[in-house]
Amino acid sequence: MFSGRLHNTWHSATFRLGIRFMALFAVSFLIVGALIYWQTESLMERELRGLIDAEIAEMQDFYTRFGPDRVASEIEERLDDDPFWVTFMLDSECRPIAGNSEWMGRGHRPFDLCQNVDEDGWVLFEVDVGQTGAGSSGSAYDDDIYGRLMPLSDDHDIIAGRMAGNLEDAQNIMFDALSWGLLVTLALAFVGSVSLARSVNNRLENMNRISRQIRRGDLSRRMPSSKGGDEFDRLGGNLNEMLDQIETLMVGVRDVSNAIAHDLRTPLTRLRNHLEQLQEDAADAEMRGKIEETLGEADSLLQTFSSLLRIAQIEAGNRRREFGEVELNDLIDDVVELYEPLAAEKNVHLRATAKGKINASGDRDLLFQAISNVVDNAIKYTPPDGSVAIELDSTPTSARIDVLDSGSGIPESERERVFERFYRLEKHRGSFGSGLGLSLVSAVVSLHGGTISLLNGDPGLRVRMQLPMT
């Protein structure tokens, strides 16, 4: 059951729509996150460069006012106060005069920086901060430096830079936050898609279940509704109104046919009695033969009307009061005993098998008539030297009666229609019968809360009736 629900969820249109929105949310999240990341990084980088420009401007002013020696001492004082700066003054040959140039990474020299600056004097380089470095935490580490080379005079230049650790930390934090945010968004979107799909599937499956019951003939069933008044409720309301109209029309047609059958049965019976009297009084043998044919037609009409009234009585449900425990093994034995002479006359082998003793709740007479009708049809449409088998079996909740023949079977496209009143296959329209046999069987099975289905017999047809167990 769980695997079936999971399969329905995965393959539902609602779930696929939720996955599409999840992908859309993920792309939107990535785009917005990338913009935030880029804007934040740009803002922090602008602030860092602004600090560096301000520091260089102060050193240039110091240089103009007090000269190179005063600038050198000022650089040393400031480095002691703020260890996150990397500042050194250079001569005209790009050799360091003052500052903490010793922190530059291995393999790098101030001369290299002078060669690698961009057109605005900016350069990114790495420093190694040792254990004895100012502001060290007692262990060596390296860090990237945003720096800028600017002239102090024709003889001196200055490189001022700031450790970019805070910027890198902020970048890492933003990247982690965006990554986790994306994962949480995807997880919540997935859970939401599954939850939404299951909610919609449960309501649709309930409607599908009721529609199957209606398709099997229970026109009293209606679509469920909730107090929300959503689109499902509106759809269910429209379907219920349509079903009300269909049920009214069907009941009207059924009542008309039942009334006709009831009203015509009495005059037909009187007509048959008159024909019998005429047959007795007729002196001409030819006349008696014609009257005999007419009597056969009258009997056929009376049987049709009796079947219609019988079906109407069954569909009314009044026979449920007579339900009791029915021993299906004995019932099938009686059916076999009744039809063995007919099967032998057609040279058809009739047999019955049962897997254990099986009982069902119902009306024995109606069940006998229903199984008899199916067996009668099976024998009628099975060719000589064929076989008809009645198989009795059970499941944990139902008794199963299969009638299997070796005839030509029924095309799959017409299997649903043969349960309709008066419907007959085109190739059988000239044979004896009214087309009500399987309609009566279907009515009996529905009255007992069971199901009937037509399956391939390979060869022939398998009629399967399933009834609730007692």
DSSP state letter for 91: -
Instruction: Give the highest mean pLDDT range of 100-109, 227-236, 247-256, 374-383.
Output: 374-383
The answer to whether the CB of 389 falls within 8 A of the CB of 403 is yes
User: pTM of whole model > 0.75?
Assistant: no
pLDDT at residue 356, as a whole number:
86
Question: Predicted confidence band at 306 (pLDDT cuts at 50, 70, 90)?
Answer: low
Question: Predicted confidence band at 258 (pLDDT cuts at 50, 70, 90)?
Answer: low
pLDDT digits (tens, 9 = 90+) for 168-220: 677 778 788 888 888 888 888 788 777 777 777 777 888 888 887 777 666 77
Instruction: Please classify residue 360 by burial: count the beta carbons closer than 10 Å to its beta carbon, then call 0-12 exposed, 13-18 middle and 19+ buried.
Output: buried
What's the sign of the alpha-carbon dihedral 9, 14, 19, 25?
negative
Which pair of tokens denotes residue 290? 């014609």
pLDDT at residue 221, as a whole number:
80
Higher confidence at residue 150 or residue 266?
Answer: 150
CA dist 222 and 218 (Å) reads: 10
> Which residues pair with residue 98 across a beta bridge?
89
CA dist 427 and 182 (Å) reads: 67
Question: Predicted confidence band at 407 (pLDDT cuts at 50, 70, 90)?
Answer: confident
Q: Which amino acid is at 387?
A: S
Judge whether residue 430 has pLDDT over 80: no
pLDDT digits (tens, 9 = 90+) for 44-68: 888 888 888 888 888 888 888 888 8
Lowest mean pLDDT among 44-48, 108-112, 114-118, 337-341: 108-112
* Alpha carbon 447 to chain centroid, angstroms: 33
Phi, psi of 98 (to 5 degrees): -150, 160
DSSP state letter for 104: B
The answer to whether the CB of 61 falls within 8 A of the CB of 54 is no
The answer to whether the CB of 291 falls within 8 A of the CB of 282 is yes
> Which residues pair with residue 455 across a beta bridge?
462
- Say what percent of the chain tops pLDDT 70: 75
pLDDT at residue 131, as a whole number:
41
The residues, any chain, with a CB within 8 Å of residue 443's CB and separated by 6 or more, are 311, 314, 315
CA dist 125 and 110 (Å) reads: 10
pLDDT at residue 349, as a whole number:
92
SS3 assignment, position 286: helix
CA distances from 12 to 9, 19, 70, 205 (A): 5, 11, 78, 11
If you average pLDDT over residues 154-166, what whole number do you get? 79
Question: Predicted confidence band at 135 (pLDDT cuts at 50, 70, 90)?
Answer: very low
pLDDT at residue 406, as a whole number:
87
CA dist 90 and 152 (Å) reads: 9
Answer yes or no: same fold for 231-316 and 320-468.
Answer: no
Q: Which amino acid is at 374?
A: V
CA distances from 238 to 29, 209, 407 (A): 41, 17, 44
Q: For 441-454, give one letter per residue: b (16+ CB within 10 A) or e.
A: bbbbbbbbebebeb
Judge whether residue 30 has pLDDT over 80: yes
Which pair of tokens denotes residue 113? 């920086």
Higher confidence at residue 125 or residue 243?
Answer: 243
Instruction: Tell me the average pLDDT of the chain.
Output: 77
Residue 417, number of CB atoms within 10 A of its CB: 12
Residue 371, number of CB atoms within 10 A of its CB: 24
Q: What is the CATH number of domain 320-468?
A: 3.30.565.10
pLDDT at residue 26, as a whole number:
80
Q: Which amino acid is at 318?
A: N
Angle at the Cα of 274 from the Cα atoms of 273 and 275, rounded to 5 degrees:
90
Strand order, beta sheet including 157-163: 96-99, 85-90, 157-163, 141-151, 122-129
SS3 assignment, position 291: helix
pLDDT at residue 416, as a whole number:
74
Pairing, β 387-394 against β 324-327: unpaired
Judge whether residue 394 has pLDDT over 80: yes
CA dist 199 and 189 (Å) reads: 15
For the chain, give every domain's residue range: 231-316, 320-468
CATH fold of the domain at 231-316: Helix Hairpins (1.10.287)
Which pair of tokens denotes residue 296? 């056969």
pLDDT at residue 355, as a whole number:
87
Question: Predicted confidence band at 133 (pLDDT cuts at 50, 70, 90)?
Answer: very low
pLDDT at residue 261, as a whole number:
59
Question: Predicted confidence band at 240 (pLDDT cuts at 50, 70, 90)?
Answer: confident
